[in-house]
Amino acid sequence: MSDSVLITLGPTREFIDPVRYITNASSGKMGKCIAEEALSRGYEVTIISGPVNIELPESARLINVTTAMEMINSTLSELENGYKILVSTAAIADYSPEFRAEKIKSDKNELNIRLRLNPKLTKLARKRFPELFIVAFKAEYNMPEEKLIEIAEKKLIDENLNIVVANDISKNKFGSDYSDAYIINENEKIYIEKCSKREISRRIWDIIEMKLKE
């Protein structure tokens, strides 16, 4: 699978009890654009998707998951098949609640929920697959540009990643077809002004392919 790419996208759902869960507003649209651009360039694409309400490309292989640990474990298992590139756009929950097997009664005035920290997918992927080309996404909210870049650069270094794509999600509505982004690698920081996610995906793939040739 030398020309294969694995793409994660969408949110995860972290269940509190059998009917309630914590999630986020990720639409999966950026991951979809990344996948479509990869297919147009001749890559064999597998998508691991959280719960989304968008139509994903039929020519990509699709694996559906729900929770953060399902996303993490499915991705690590799938990477055993010898992928060349991992593009992790999914908004995987940082924390998961302790699950209660029975539905919580609705007559409580207060409810305390204990959260546990989830492992970082890209960090685990790098440890297990040292030759894998990894592109991670880092979303922050209402953050100064300098701080956003600093956090993205720290992630790049700490997790030994190839590329980090960072953006401030407060600038665009969730589910928007447009965004801006910083594409950061060990040599450069490229700012892409607000444009379509399809155009951003093209720019990301241009940089991926340039880095792979080095």
Q: Where is average pLDDT lowest: 28-37, 80-89, 166-175?
A: 166-175
Q: Specify if 47 maps to a domain.
A: yes
Q: What total number of domains does the chain contain?
A: 1
- Mean pLDDT, rounded, for 38-54: 98
Q: Specify if 196 maps to a domain.
A: yes
CATH number, domain at 17?
A: 3.40.50.10300
Instruction: Determine the pLDDT at residue 109.
Output: 87
Domain that includes residue 141, residue range: 4-101+114-213
Q: Specify if 107 maps to a domain.
A: no
Q: Catalytic: 24? A: yes
Instruction: Name the active-site residue from 24, 64, 73, 172.
Output: 24
Whether residue 141 has pLDDT greater than 60: yes
Per residue in 182-194, pLDDT (tens digit) is 999 999 999 999 9
Q: Specify if 108 maps to a domain.
A: no
Q: Are 83 and 47 in contact (CB under 8 A)?
A: no
Per residue in 7-31, pLDDT (tens digit) is 999 999 999 999 999 999 999 999 9
Instruction: Determine the pLDDT at residue 174.
Output: 73
Confidence class for position 86, pLDDT limits 50, 70, 90: very high
Q: Specify if 158 maps to a domain.
A: yes
Give the other-Cβ count within 10 Å of 132's Cβ: 18
Give the other-Cβ count within 10 Å of 10's Cβ: 31
All residues at 6 or more sequence positions from 188 whose CB lies less than 8 Å from its CB, including other chains: none
Q: Specify if 106 maps to a domain.
A: no
Q: Specify if 109 maps to a domain.
A: no
Picking from 135, 133, 205, 145, the residue whose alpha carbon sits closest to that of residue 170 is: 145
- Mean pLDDT, rounded, for 64-92: 98
